[in-house]
Structure 1
Amino acid sequence: MASPSAGSLHGLGIPPDHVRRIAATLGLPEGEVPAEDGRVVALLADAEAAADPAHWARPFAAWIEAGALDDAAVVVQVARASQADLYACLTTATANQLHLAGRIVHAIDSHRPLTESQRDDIELVLHEAISNAVVHGNLQVEGMKGLSVDALDRFSAALAARMADPAFAARRVEVSCWLTPEGELLVEVADEGSGFVPQSRGDAVANASGRGLDLITAIARQVELLDNGRRIRIRFAL
């Protein structure tokens, strides 16, 4: 996969001197958003700073929640962003608040226009994958045990408790996208959880029950689980 250049940096809610330091370290321009054919890496303070849909379309191509990161960590994230066509690295709390799947699809569509059917399918798959990363990965909450009201209440309470814990809410969700010349979309969604080991018999993806992977595999062209279940790689035909 090709490695796009990082482009320029643009702060959203981030102090200008912070953006300036990072830009100087990386040798990148910062400040004004360039023309439509540019490539902007947005450094976000929080979910509120990322709320405007205009910041999830060309020329923006990467979104890094930098508010709690030191300069060295931001530099690492910008370097990772330069390896993908589109890239997002947000805290669990922010990814959940933003409904990240819809934002990513909006970004993809602005870089390579999608049909309505493609948008719907990709958003549904990314919603499942990102929800898995948030709920089962970073928050380490198991799926509902049954379909009763009590089961739903227990599941909701567990989610709320973990999201209220700064140690869990600050874990990161990473989404990387590549738009290939062959007309494919490749997406990887990664979390910082403990991973999981699918059943040993048969196909690993098919046996990873309780994580919506049956729906993902039914829609996507190809699905792979990597890093002991902490990363999912999904291919779509465009």
Structure 2
Amino acid sequence: MDFQVAGDTLDEAERSRIAVELGLPLARPGATIPDAARVRVTAEGAAVELVTALRGNSAAIVEQGPPGTLPVGALRAALDGGRLLISMTTRLAWTLDTAAQICEGLLARGMLPAALRHDVELSLHEAIINAVLHGNLAMGGSLVDDPRQFDAFCQRLTATLADPERAARRIDVFVWLADGLLHISISDQGAGYDPAAIRPPVNVEAKSGRGLEIMRVMSSGLTVTDGGRTATLVFAI
């Protein structure tokens, strides 16, 4: 399939810049091409536009980013492998209800059985929190359980998101169906970690620090690769 870049809300110069950076031809206004051949580029921070694109059938959805930050390699791997790619900046991934919106999109695309919605959304939510906080923002620790520390945590989070370089780092979500399984892979651009060094929380009732354990329990399988930067969830459908 001949894929083309589409970004109707971006000006012509920016559409052209993005098409060149992604190495794909630009869809001309008014051109009739299948939605499945479109790489939909949404304006930076445009949550409504991205949510609408999720419910369509485009081959990939990429949030606009500064020059040199677009997911060129991830996009090529997704298109070559027949996988859906959803790529967004750290700031939007954190402020959008990302896991819920992706699940709504997968339901609309017929990729997610309704009966699996709860397990997939909860697992994806935990994976995205890990990718944002521990990966791209390198904040360390976990969401605090002590209310007395919560305000300080939120202030530190706000300050970290104000760093343009960290906020522009990307979260890439790949989705594909194969062999009766739904695969969802979440990648960040952080420093990574050693999965073997992570131990289950001592307090099983803790509100934080249980992300990996939740993902293992709710999914049919979890693998962590790329030095801790990619978590792949598998669900039997």
What band does the TM-score fall into relative to the shorter chain? 0.7 to 0.9
Bigger shift: residues 40-49 or 73-82: 73-82
Indicate whether 1:19 and 2:23 are aligned.
no
Indicate whether 1:66 and 2:64 are aligned.
yes
Of 186, 189, 192 in structure 1, the residue corresponding to residue 186 of structure 2 is: 189
Query: In 2, Cα distance between the equivalents of 1:114 and 1:92?
Result: 24
C-alpha contact 1:12 1:49 (8 A) present in aligned 2? no
Shift of the 6–122 alpha-carbon distance from structure 1 to 2, 3 Å rule, reads: farther
Shift of the 94–120 alpha-carbon distance from structure 1 to 2, 3 Å rule, reads: same
Q: TM-score w.r.t. structure 1 length?
A: 0.81
Shift of the 33–224 alpha-carbon distance from structure 1 to 2, 3 Å rule, reads: farther
Indicate whether 1:217 and 2:227 are aligned.
no
Structure 2 gaps of 5+ residues are: 202-208
C-alpha contact 1:14 1:67 (8 A) present in aligned 2? no
CA drift at 1:170: 1.2
Instruction: Give % identity.
Output: 31
C-alpha contact 1:34 1:59 (8 A) present in aligned 2? no
> What is the identity, as a one-letter code, of the residue corresponding to 2:136?
N
Query: In 1, Cα distance between the equivalents of 2:13 and 2:106?
Result: 30
Q: TM-score w.r.t. structure 2 length?
A: 0.81
C-alpha contact 2:111 2:177 (8 A) present in aligned 1? no
Query: In 2, Cα distance between the equivalents of 1:104 and 1:85?
Result: 14
C-alpha contact 2:75 2:85 (8 A) present in aligned 1? no
Shift of the 103–152 alpha-carbon distance from structure 1 to 2, 3 Å rule, reads: same
Computed over aligned residues only, the root mean square deviation of the Cα atoms, in angstroms, reads: 2.8
C-alpha contact 2:160 2:166 (8 A) present in aligned 1? yes
Shift of the 115–179 alpha-carbon distance from structure 1 to 2, 3 Å rule, reads: closer
CA drift at 1:10: 1.4
After TM superposition, the structure 1 = structure 2 runs for residues 89-104 of structure 1, keeping only pairs within 5 Å, are 89-104=87-102
Partner residue, 1:162? 160
SS at match of 1:26: coil
Query: In 2, Cα distance between the equivalents of 1:42 and 1:145?
Result: 33
CA drift at 1:146: 5.7
Shift of the 149–6 alpha-carbon distance from structure 1 to 2, 3 Å rule, reads: farther
Of 71, 84, 87 in structure 1, the residue corresponding to residue 85 of structure 2 is: 87
Of 95, 115, 137 in structure 2, the residue corresponding to residue 117 of structure 1 is: 115
Indicate whether 1:135 and 2:133 are aligned.
yes
Bigger shift: residues 74-83 or 61-70: 74-83
Structure 1 gaps of 5+ residues are: none
Shift of the 237–116 alpha-carbon distance from structure 1 to 2, 3 Å rule, reads: same
Shift of the 185–74 alpha-carbon distance from structure 1 to 2, 3 Å rule, reads: closer
C-alpha contact 2:111 2:182 (8 A) present in aligned 1? no
Partner residue, 2:53? 55
> What is the identity, as a one-letter code, of the residue corresponding to 1:219?
M
